Amino acid sequence: MLSDARTAGRTIGFVPTMGALHDGHLSLVRRARAECDVVVLSIFVNPLQFDLKDDLERYPRPFDADTELAAGAGVDVMFAPSSDEMFPENELLTTVRVAGLADVLEGASRPGHFDGVCTVVTKLFSVVGECRAYFGEKDWQQLTIVKQMTADLSLPAQVIACPIVRDADGLALSSRNVQLTAVDRAAALSLNRALHEGVEAIAQGCRDVDEIRRAMTRELTAEPLIQLDYADVVDDQLRVAERIEGDLRLLVAARVGTPRLIDNMGVTV
């Protein structure tokens, strides 16, 4: 069906997700809808990218609600393969690995995570074929890695970055937010506050990377319900910034009650 559409000159927009759709996912669908003729959404809770079995089991899977949301947002083709369909032999002998970029930040905390992401995204790109593929800046490291991998392997996708969608109080939307109790949710706002602290420090003229990291860390450690994983400032290759100049990303990750949450903000100095 997709190759017929392409032969007829129609463009394909592809939005890969793990389901439990929220407005962040739907913002990608809306962008694809506006820019492409056919919109494909995949839902696959990719077991290869979970380092913790519990996290995989707890991951929400509201399939009927997702189907309705996808149809309402204008998805033409929904692709929700089972693990058996994705991995018919049950064991893959091939892994796609982006050296370096996959080992820091999230990769350091979740060994093998990005190998799982890259292997499955490569497979999805190869199933969908030539397309514009929409990814959220919410997963900044993933976006950086997928762009690198797509260029390195000449995969037939053009990767498009979409801005982070947040709740009115600043919490970045995430499928894992449903696991937050009301108290944890309030504590989770400190991720966003920490990023604002960092951005504000830079806006005020601070050029000391350690000082900015400390400002973010202070905000997060002041919240007793948060277990901080990292708060860092990196350049466009995810290297810890040595100087505050150019395009930088402030990134935070923390466990809040059960789920582990991530968030980020960009600054250009």
Provide the binding-site residues for ligand AMP, judged by CB under 6 A. 17-18, 24-25, 27-28, 135-136, 138-139, 162, 164-165, 172-175
Q: For the CB of residue 230, give the shortest distance to ligand AMP in the complex, in Å.
A: 18
Which among 32, 35, 57 has a CA at the least distance from the CA of 47?
A: 57
Q: For the CB of residue 214, give the shortest distance to ligand AMP in the complex, in Å.
A: 27
Report how far residue 109's alpha carbon sits from residue 141's, in angstroms, rounded to the nearest whole number.
13
Report how far residue 14's alpha carbon sits from residue 104's, in angstroms, rounded to the nearest whole number.
27
Nearer to ligand AMP, 185 or 213 (CB): 185
Q: For the CB of residue 65, give the shortest distance to ligand AMP in the complex, in Å.
A: 14
Nearer to ligand AMP, 24 or 198 (CB): 24
Q: For the CB of residue 45, give the shortest distance to ligand AMP in the complex, in Å.
A: 9
Q: Phi first, then psi: what are they for 120, rounded to 5°?
A: -75, -40
Q: String of b and e for 205-223 (b: at least 16 CB within 10 Å)? A: eeeebeebbbbbbebbbeb
Report how far residue 58's alpha carbon sits from residue 152's, in angstroms, rounded to the nearest whole number.
34
Q: Is 22 considered catalytic here? A: no
Nearer to ligand AMP, 18 or 124 (CB): 18
Nearer to ligand AMP, 17 or 217 (CB): 17
3-state secondary structure of 160: strand
Q: Catalytic positions, please?
A: 25
